[in-house]
């Protein structure tokens, strides 16, 4: 019993005229979306959203300034600074210690 092979489709899934209509519809929707966004921006409806995005981008750009110093073979001290904040991170074989520095920049000892 011999079966015939599966016939493959010889014509394209979309004809030449159909592709043209799909491309025109896509371009029309893109132009419509652009016009709607331009109108919303002209009316000021996007200002709050754009300002929030700009504020988030500027706050994300505030980076820590890092200074690293090796104290011994197993101990490293990192000083992290940014406006309004300073930290001292000490890495050693025993673990990690983090100390927040006050605004003056000097850590306070508990002995005082």
Q: Is the dihedral of CA 32, 37, 40, 41 positive or negative?
A: negative
Of 50, 53, 82, 51, nearest to 66 by C-alpha is 82
Yes or no: say if 56 and 63 are a contact pair by the CB < 8 Å rule: no
| Half-sphere exposure of residue 100: CA atoms within 13 angstroms, side-chain side | 4
Q: Report the pLDDT value the prediction gives residue 96, as an integer from 0 to 100.
A: 93
How many whole angstroms separate alpha carbon 14 and alpha carbon 97? Answer: 66
3-state secondary structure of 60: helix
Mean pLDDT, rounded, of the chain: 81
Q: Report the pLDDT value the prediction gives residue 110, as an integer from 0 to 100.
A: 45
Q: Report the pLDDT value the prediction gives residue 6, as an integer from 0 to 100.
A: 80
* Residue whose entry in the numeric block shows the structure tokens 């005229």: 17
pLDDT digits (tens, 9 = 90+) for 40-52: 888 888 887 777 6
pLDDT digits (tens, 9 = 90+) for 46-88: 887 777 666 666 666 678 889 999 999 999 999 999 888 899 9
């Amino acid at each position: 019993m011999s079966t015939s092979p599966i016939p493959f489709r010889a014509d394209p899934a979309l004809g030449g005229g159909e592709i043209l209509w799909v491309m025109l519809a896509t371009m029309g929707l893109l132009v419509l979306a652009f016009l709607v966004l331009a109108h919303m921006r002209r009316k000021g409806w996007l200002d709050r959203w754009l300002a929030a995005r700009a504020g988030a981008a500027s706050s994300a750009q505030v980076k820590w300034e890092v200074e690293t110093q090796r104290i011994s073979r197993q101990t490293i001290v990192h000083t992290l600074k940014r406006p309004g904040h300073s930290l001292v991170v000490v890495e050693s074989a025993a673990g990690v210690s983090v100390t927040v520095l006050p605004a003056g920049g000097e850590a306070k000892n508990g002995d005082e």
